[in-house]
């Protein structure tokens, strides 16, 4: 059980590594201490590199309840290593500050109480400088822990370290998307980075790739890291279907808008139509109409004219579903997407490219394109457990399992995702009205 110390720290009963192995599949080959140190330093360094363009004031703003200040992301990812590794492996561990456990716990009830999420932007203290000092404190102890670990100890530490690094990569993506929302709310429309020019070519027409009816293996069934929600591996019968060769573009989505897409209730799910009316949606998030009728969009390089060839982005599940109906198609199920992605090279526009914006399709590419990177692709699948799934006991079991309600699955990663973080079985999930992530769509049809 968890206990509260006299100075307010929480001692977490998380020493059972079976909890981790049930939550996140352990890599088959144990890494060396030097490999883990290098990987740890690379991931942690990227978080701070993403913050290099920021001014101090940029770190502290929270523009909506779903987003978090950059400062909080930096501290929370350090708290994760402190809570689930340092406290569990260093006798009489002393935190950098006893109240950090309360401030930077996100939603782990088993660890203890936590600060109200919508009020994270009200925390002027600790300062940005103090948060960076906290990261250095945690990093020094983590690297020391790795240096002193023998082979047996390293085998115990590795699953949690790999989990913590993947957790930090998730927050790196959130940092980028939350910052974009922060900058979009500023009338000055500041730029996070300079625009990286991308070549724009005519987008080729959609082609449809058929997939036969059959029983398919779904879920992560290989070496390397995966989250618990990617398993257990199971078999599933799927009907024959068609999947479009590429993502839906801004130009295609604009045609939907010009055809009264946001005014036609017959295209929308009931809850989606209610959301359109309540929130006064008339275009994707960050689109703004010119006085002359043209459109501009906010990017991390500031405002610019809408590029019709780019994948449409920042649309909700409701909007993606309505567009699919208007197109005479539908969204793919997550199983269909996973089946189609088998054998597709894991290549695309990721955060590693430092473009941080969806890019037009290279017209010379063939086959299924844009399956990875650019935008997360909405599926029509509710986020629910696979057959036989059970969350791990303890705090880490809260990571995925308790969110399996009122969410929809997205696949493929985005321009804010690290390439080393994504895989064909990765299941992202958001509520159906979420738009601030880099979310888009491709179409599917039944093959009759």
Which pLDDT score is estimated for 15?
40
List the single range of 8-17, 64-73, 275-284 with lowest mean pLDDT: 8-17
Of the pLDDT bands very low, low, confident and very high (cuts 50, 70, 90), residue 399 is confident
Residues with Cβ within 8 Å of 340's Cβ and at least 6 positions away in sequence, in order, are 209, 211, 243, 332, 368, 371
Do residues 246 and 368 both lie within one domain?
Answer: yes
Q: Which residue has the higher pLDDT, 22 or 352?
A: 352
Do residues 258 and 125 both lie within one domain?
Answer: no
**Residue 197 within any structural domain of the chain:** no
Q: Which residue has the higher pLDDT, 366 or 436?
A: 436
Which pLDDT score is estimated for 179?
98
Do residues 352 and 301 both lie within one domain?
Answer: yes
Do residues 20 and 137 both lie within one domain?
Answer: yes
Of the pLDDT bands very low, low, confident and very high (cuts 50, 70, 90), residue 198 is confident
How many domains would you assign to the chain? Answer: 2
CATH number, domain with residue 333: 3.90.1580.10
Residue 96, pLDDT > 60, answer yes
Do residues 147 and 18 both lie within one domain?
Answer: yes
Mean per-residue pLDDT for 403-412? 96
Which pLDDT score is estimated for 33?
86
Of the pLDDT bands very low, low, confident and very high (cuts 50, 70, 90), residue 30 is low
Residues with Cβ within 8 Å of 235's Cβ and at least 6 positions away in sequence, in order, are 215, 216, 217, 218
CATH number, domain with residue 97: 1.20.120
Reported as a single tens digit per residue, the pLDDT across 325-367 is: 999 999 999 999 999 999 899 999 999 999 999 999 987 778 9
pTM attached to this predicted model: 0.92
**Residue 249 within any structural domain of the chain:** yes
**Residue 138 within any structural domain of the chain:** yes
Do residues 158 and 246 both lie within one domain?
Answer: no
Mean per-residue pLDDT for 224-239? 96
What is the token pair recorded at 380? 């029509």
Q: Checking DSSP bridges between strand 226-227 and strand 428-430, what pairing results, if any?
A: unpaired
- Cα–Cα distance, 414 to 377 (Å, whole number): 9
Mean per-residue pLDDT for 11-39? 59
Do residues 170 and 225 both lie within one domain?
Answer: no
Which pLDDT score is estimated for 396?
78
- Judge whether 395 and 12 are in contact, CB under 8 Å: yes
**Residue 198 within any structural domain of the chain:** no
Do residues 55 and 172 both lie within one domain?
Answer: yes
Which pLDDT score is estimated for 4?
31
End residue of a domain, out of 184, 216, 247: 184
Reported as a single tens digit per residue, the pLDDT across 415-431 is: 999 999 999 999 999 99
Query: Which among 431, 443, 446, 445 is positioned nearest to 256, based on CA atoms?
Result: 443
Q: Checking DSSP bridges between strand 376-382 and strand 439-440, what pairing results, if any?
A: parallel
Do residues 126 and 221 both lie within one domain?
Answer: no
List the single range of 19-33, 167-181, 253-267, 290-304 with lowest mean pLDDT: 19-33
Of the pLDDT bands very low, low, confident and very high (cuts 50, 70, 90), residue 186 is very high
Do residues 281 and 152 both lie within one domain?
Answer: no
List the single range of 88-97, 124-133, 313-322 with lowest mean pLDDT: 88-97
Q: What is the mean pLDDT of the chain?
A: 91
Q: Range of 388's domain?
A: 208-446
End residue of a domain, out of 184, 217, 245: 184
List the single range of 66-80, 191-205, 275-289 with lowest mean pLDDT: 191-205
Do residues 215 and 136 both lie within one domain?
Answer: no
Which pLDDT score is estimated for 362?
80
**Residue 345 within any structural domain of the chain:** yes
Do residues 147 and 214 both lie within one domain?
Answer: no
**Residue 25 within any structural domain of the chain:** yes
Which pLDDT score is estimated for 159?
92
**Residue 196 within any structural domain of the chain:** no
Which pLDDT score is estimated for 17?
43
- Looking at the chain, the whole-number percentage of residues with pLDDT higher than 90 is 80
Residue 20, pLDDT > 90, answer no
**Residue 341 within any structural domain of the chain:** yes
């Amino acid at each position: 059980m968890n206990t509260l110390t006299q100075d307010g720290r929480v001692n977490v009963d998380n020493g059972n590594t079976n909890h981790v192995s049930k939550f996140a599949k352990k890599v088959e080959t144990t890494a060396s201490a030097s490999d883990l140190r290098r990987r740890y330093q690379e991931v942690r360094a990227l978080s701070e590199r993403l913050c290099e363009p920021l001014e101090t004031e940029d770190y502290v703003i929270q523009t909506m309840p779903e987003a978090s200040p950059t400062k909080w992301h930096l501290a929370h990812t350090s708290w994760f290593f402190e809570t689930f590794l340092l406290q569990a492996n260093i006798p009489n561990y002393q935190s950098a500050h006893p109240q950090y456990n309360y401030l930077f716990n996100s939603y782990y009830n088993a660890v203890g109480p936590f600060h109200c999420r919508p009020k994270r932007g009200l925390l002027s203290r600790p300062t940005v400088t103090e948060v960076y000092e906290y990261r250095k404190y945690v990093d020094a102890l983590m690297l020391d822990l790795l240096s002193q670990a023998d082979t047996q100890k390293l085998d115990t530490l590795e699953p949690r370290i790999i989990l913590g690094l993947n957790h930090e990569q998730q927050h790196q993506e959130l940092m980028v998307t939350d910052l974009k929302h922060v900058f979009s709310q500023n009338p000055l429309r500041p730029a996070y980075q300079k625009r990286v020019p991308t070549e724009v070519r005519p987008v080729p027409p959609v082609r449809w790739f058929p997939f036969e009816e059959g029983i398919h293996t779904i879920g992560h069934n290989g070496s390397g890291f995966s989250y618990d929600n990617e398993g257990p591996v199971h078999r599933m019968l799927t009907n024959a279907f068609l999947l479009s060769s590429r993502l839906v573009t801004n130009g295609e989505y604009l045609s939907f808008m010009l055809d009264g897409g946001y005014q036609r209730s017959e295209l929308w799910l009931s809850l989606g139509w209610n959301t359109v009316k309540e929130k006064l949606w008339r275009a994707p998030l960050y689109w703004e109409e010119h006085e002359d009728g043209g459109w501009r969009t906010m990017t991390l390089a500031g405002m610019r004219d809408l590029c019709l060839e780019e994948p449409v982005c920042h649309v909700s599940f409701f909007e993606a579903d309505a567009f699919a109906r208007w197109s005479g198609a539908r969204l793919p199920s997550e199983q269909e997407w996973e089946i189609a992605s088998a054998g597709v090279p894991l290549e695309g526009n990721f955060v590693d490219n430092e473009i941080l914006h969806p890019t037009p399709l290279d017209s010379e590419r063939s086959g299924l394109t844009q399956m990875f990177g650019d935008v997360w692709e909405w599926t029509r699948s509710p986020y629910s457990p696979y057959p036989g799934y059970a969350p791990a006991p303890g705090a880490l079991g809260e990571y995925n399992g308790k969110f399996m309600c009122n969410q929809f699955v997205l696949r493929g990663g985005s321009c804010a995702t690290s390439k080393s973080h994504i895989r064909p079985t990765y299941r992202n999930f958001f509520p159906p009205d979420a738009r601030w992530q880099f979310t888009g769509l491709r179409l599917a049809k039944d093959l009759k």
